[in-house]
Amino acid sequence: MQINNDSLMTRRTLLATAVAAATSSGAFAAVRNPYGPFKMGIQSYTLRHFDLDDALDITEKLGIHFWEAFPAHLPITADKQLIASYHQKLAAHHIKLMAYGVVGFSNDEADARKTFEFARAMQIPVLSASPAPDSFSLLDKLTREYNIRIAIHNHGPGDNLYAHPKQTLAAIAGHSTMIGECEDTGHMIRSGEDPVAAAKLFGSRLYDVHIKAARKNSAGDIVWTVIGDPRSLLDTPAFLQTLLNLRYSRLIALEYEDHETDPVPYMKQCFTSIQQAIQSIQKAKR
């Protein structure tokens, strides 16, 4: 890419140049629906090193149009002018918010309403969350009132509430069907769970997906890796086929944990591998 020598090389210009170079292999050439039937997006925590404008720039350059916003990028606010600016920036980059989080909930109704009011103002349909056990009756009420779903996010070892599918299923039993699961495939692996089996267990109450890969290192520890790594413990085609079987139509958000200051080349690898997995599924059906 040639750069006008008379132009000021701002940080954003440099960033755009780096992203363009990372995607120059043609993996993101203009093709129709490169992710098939899926709404493929980014959990913006992946871009936590960057401010909102740069994170949106990166997302647009990668050809992605859906986001789950990490709260540091779009802090919860009641300020109408700030909310309007959020909408303007998202629209300028052709990005739609499909989810927001991960957020916490207690049984403090006034505090919970701040989050739901913000989600309504931002037209966010799903909140990925880690709710306290005593918050469920309140969430039953607020999900119905605001018509916004709660997707309980599983973290890995150390998450005493929701690390395992059976824990989440037990927690949501008897509560509103507006409360379901945000499945993080990487944390499922870290907890010794099979992401494919977990998705099947949640079925129609799977409301959000954070897709990431993990593998065992030489010491036997689980570490993050790119989607498509042959050592990965995520069977990407099988997982995506399961989502198809479930008629899952909500967000699949790439969340890449490593290389915080330079994630783009690795994100590109992940997106390419997801596209290849979708293509293999489509070919198998012909």
For position 221, which CATH number holds? Answer: 3.20.20.150
Domain interval for residue 57: 37-285
Q: Is 63 a domain residue?
A: yes
**Spatial CB neighbours of 28, under 8 Å, sequence gap ≥ 6:** 34, 62, 63, 268, 271
Q: Is 17 a domain residue?
A: no
Q: Is 144 a domain residue?
A: yes
Q: Is 16 a domain residue?
A: no
pLDDT score of 95: 98
Q: Is 60 a domain residue?
A: yes
Per the structure, the count of domains in the chain is 1
In one letter, which amino acid is 8?
L
pLDDT for 24-76, tens place per residue?
444 333 446 799 999 999 999 999 999 999 999 999 999 999 999 999 999 99
Mind spelling out the 3-state secondary structure of 36-50?
CCCEEEEEHHHHCCC
d(CA 202, CA 168): 9
pLDDT score of 188: 98
- Asked if the model's pLDDT at residue 237 lies above 50, the reply is yes
d(CA 103, CA 100): 8
Q: Is 2 a domain residue?
A: no
Kindly report whether the peptide bond that precedes residue 102 is cis, defined as omega within 30 degrees of 0.
Answer: yes
Q: Is 222 a domain residue?
A: yes
